[in-house]
Amino acid sequence: MDLRHLRYFLCVAEEMHFGRAARRLGISQPPLSQQIRALEDELGVRLFDRTSRRVKLTEAGMLFAPEARQTLAQADHAAQTARRAQRGEIGHLALGFTPSGPFVQIVGNALSRFRDAHPEVQLSLQERGRDEQIARVEEGELDIGLIRGSTKPCLPKGMVSRCLITEDMLLAVRADHPLAVRPADPQIADLADVPLVLYAPAIGAGFNEHFLALCDHAGFQPRIAHEASSFATLLGLVSAGFGATILARSLERLHIDTLVYRRLDAPVTSRLLMIHRADLSPTAHAFRAVIEAEAACHG
């Protein structure tokens, strides 16, 4: 059934006059009469009683009219839904991030702005390590991943990456730690005999390897006292004096009374990278635009 037939029928039903309905629709009267007749033939019922003096809905026509209105309204709603989905205004967005990701200012700002602009998009936020994010983006379980690394990651075919920010890393130690109070900025070599708290390998993939390579270049094997499975555990262990750790500079804004952040004399950098498949969904495309705008503002 052609939706146009329904619109023609309702216009005639409202005007109760084929001539007025035709003028309202912007067509001549004979084609309108033909379309109404075609609809009646398709349904196998008469919708109008016609005389030379008046047009009147039949009982079937009176019962058909509200159903036709509902059908047209649903069709219009379906079309609007499709358009909104294409603009990324509705739908689903699965976003992966490193444990510290939400604490990075551009990430927090982007999430806030995106939710304000796209309140009907269902957000799924998943804390994952680098390798797991890459695998889930490739499989389509994540739309976008936010990972840490010192170099561009090796990605499967069909995936791309973009560096959002590059920032120095800081040494975080308990306030009464010797490296917290010494005048000179510490160097990597100063960590040779210091117990360290790092992320577990699956969580810290990328940065851990880079940090261990820096230690090897400085001539020592680091003393890893504990491996943390979450950002909260990492900070909790360091603030309790179980060891020192390395954090991205953007996390310096997190104030914990017992922690001190120290610059490293020879800067160690970390990159926050966005990864996704080349064929982004509309919602993922909308989020990428928001977070890239935030990165540009803080570049």
Model confidence pLDDT, tens digit, residues 49-62 = 988 788 999 999 99
DSSP state of 187: -
62-78 average pLDDT score:
93
- 85 burial type by CB count under 10 A (0-12 exposed, 13-18 middle, 19+ buried): middle
Q: Are strands 144-149 and 195-199 parallel, antiparallel or unpaired?
A: unpaired
Q: Which of the four pLDDT bands, split at 50, 70 and 90, describes residue 99?
A: confident
Cα–Cα distance measured from residue 153 to residue 149, given in angstroms and rounded to the nearest whole number? 7
Write down the pLDDT at residue 71: 94
Query: What's the pLDDT score for residue 26?
Result: 93
pLDDT in tens, 212-251: 888 999 999 999 999 998 888 999 999 999 999 998 888 8
CA dihedral 126, 131, 134, 140 (to 10 degrees): -60
Burial of 127 by CB count in 10 Å (0-12 exposed, 13-18 middle, 19+ buried)? middle
pLDDT by residue (tens digit) across 241-299?
999 999 888 888 888 889 999 998 877 788 899 999 999 999 999 999 999 999 998 76
Q: How far is CA 34 from the centre of its chain?
A: 51
Average pLDDT over every residue of 85-102: 87
The reported pLDDT for the residue numbered 5 is 93
* pLDDT given for residue 241 in this prediction: 92
Neighbours of 57 (CB within 10 A): 18
What average pLDDT is seen over the chain?
Answer: 91
Whole-number Å distance between alpha carbons of 191 and 73: 69
Q: What is the pLDDT of residues 166-204, one digit of tens each?
A: 888 899 999 999 999 889 999 999 999 999 999 888 887
C-alpha distances in angstroms, 278 versus 74, 82, 229, 288? 34, 22, 31, 12
- Any idea which residue has 């920010």 for tokens? 165
Residue with tokens 């304000």: 116
d(CA 272, CA 148): 5
DSSP category for residue 244: B
Residue 299's pLDDT is: 63
Phi, psi of 68, rounded to the nearest 5 degrees: -65, -40
pLDDT at 163 over 90: yes
Percentage of the chain lying above the pLDDT 70 cut? 100
Q: Where are the alpha helices (H) located in the chain, listed in sequence order?
A: 3-15, 18-25, 29-43, 59-86, 105-117, 130-139, 178-181, 201-204, 207-217, 231-239, 282-297
CB 294 within 8 A of CB 109: yes
